[in-house]
Every structure is written in C-alpha cells, then in structure tokens.
C-alpha cells in the first residue's frame, strides 16, 4: 500500500483545504492531523519546527516537509500528478503561475480576508475587503466566460488554489449572485472525481 502523506491542517482553513483537495483529486493516501488554532497549537515549539511562520497547512511526505499551500500544490502536482495539473509549456505554466499569485494576493486580501472577519473575528475593515473581493470576482467572471478553467480548458493547480475561498466567499458576506461564470466554474470543480468539500460555516450570507 502506498505511504500516507501527512497534512497538518485546520478544517476551516481554506489554505489547508486547497492542499487536501489536490491530495484527494490525485487519489493520494492522506493522514489528516488537525492543529487546534484556538488552543495555539500552531505556535508551539514542535509545530514551529515544521513551519517557522506558525501557519497551517504543513505537508510531510516521508520526511520531506513543506510549508506554504501553493508550494505544496506545485510539489504534489509535479511529483504525483499528470502534466495537465502543472503544465510544462512556458505559456501554460505562466498562466498557472498568474493565478497562484492571485491566490496569494487578491484572493487572500479579498474573499479570504472577508471570511476571516466572520469566521475567525479578524480585525479587517469588512467593507474594504468585500470591495476587493468583488473586484476580483468581476475579473474572474469575465475570464471564465471564455474558458472552462482559470488557466485553460483543463483543470490545473490554479483552480485548486483559488477554489476554496471563492466557494466559501458568502461566509464573508460576499455574494456570488452576479457571477454566473464563477458559479459554473465552482460546479465543474465540484464534479471532478475525488472532489472533497470544505466544512461550511453558518456565518455571513451562509447564516440565512
């Protein structure tokens, strides 16, 4: 039996979920190890030895330890996935990289931050991060009008990196109502073999 890859995670972390999702889409045996953020387990010396930034997720593949969720997606796709998940063609790879940057930038400071306000009580300006979220969603919706997935006709790690926080944007009071192409994209990802959802939280627009 193949070895299990350890994923130190939190079930409400979108960063954790994107890695869990790719592990499942690739059919890789996974051992999920929950880190209790409320109890500060991510700041203990044992965890800081795995990730000096004190953040989930952390991946341990038989002693190869990685932090940063997008870095994990690259590693998993190139180590275990078919080339379609992380294309090698320079232009295709650049398109994927663009959306990994969006996931670390506009997504993190828009939909993800808006959800942090409602789910974790983060002290962001809600109006500001919700406005940023809609600016991103408008661009995504326009681009997805002409493409099944973010970086082209097939799913890549670009989609996996952005899925979780877009799917859960309503928890942060960010409505997806005006973005039909984004909603259709979410449904395409959810229909992929091996898809696993992230736990939904009854806050924001999800509370109604």
Task: Give per-residue pLDDT as tens, 92-136.
Answer: 999 999 999 999 999 999 999 999 888 877 778 889 999 999 999
Q: What domains can you pick out in the chain, each with its CATH number?
A: 5-80 (3.40.30.10), 90-207 (1.20.1050.10)
Cis-peptide, bond into residue 99, ω within 30° of zero: no
* pLDDT tens-place string over residues 183-206: 999 999 999 999 999 988 777 777
pTM reported for the whole predicted model: 0.94
Dihedral sign (CA 76, 156, 96, 163) = negative
């Amino acid at each position: 039996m193949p070895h299990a890859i350890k994923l130190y995670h939190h079930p409400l972390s979108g960063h954790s979920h994107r890695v869990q999702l790719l592990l499942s889409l690739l059919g890789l045996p996974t051992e999920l190890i929950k880190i209790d953020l409320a109890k500060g387990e991510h700041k203990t010396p044992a965890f800081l030895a795995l990730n000096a930034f004190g953040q989930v997720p952390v991946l341990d593949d038989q002693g190869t330890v990685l932090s940063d969720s997008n870095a994990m997606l690259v590693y998993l796709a190139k180590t275990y996935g078919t080339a379609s998940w992380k294309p090698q063609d320079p232009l295709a790879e650049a398109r994927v990289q663009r959306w990994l940057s969006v996931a670390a930038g506009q997504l993190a400071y828009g939909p993800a931050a808006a959800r942090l306000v409602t789910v974790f009580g983060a002290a962001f300006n809600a109006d500001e991060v919700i406005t940023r979220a809609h600016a991103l969603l408008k661009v995504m919706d326009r681009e997805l009008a002409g493409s099944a997935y973010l970086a082209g006709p097939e799913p890549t790690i670009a989609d996996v990196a952005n899925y979780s926080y877009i799917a859960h944007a309503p928890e942060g009071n960010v409505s997806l109502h005006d973005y039909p192409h984004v909603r259709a994209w979410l449904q395409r990802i959810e229909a992929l073999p091996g898809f696993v959802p992230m736990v939904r939280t009854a806050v924001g627009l999800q509370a109604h």
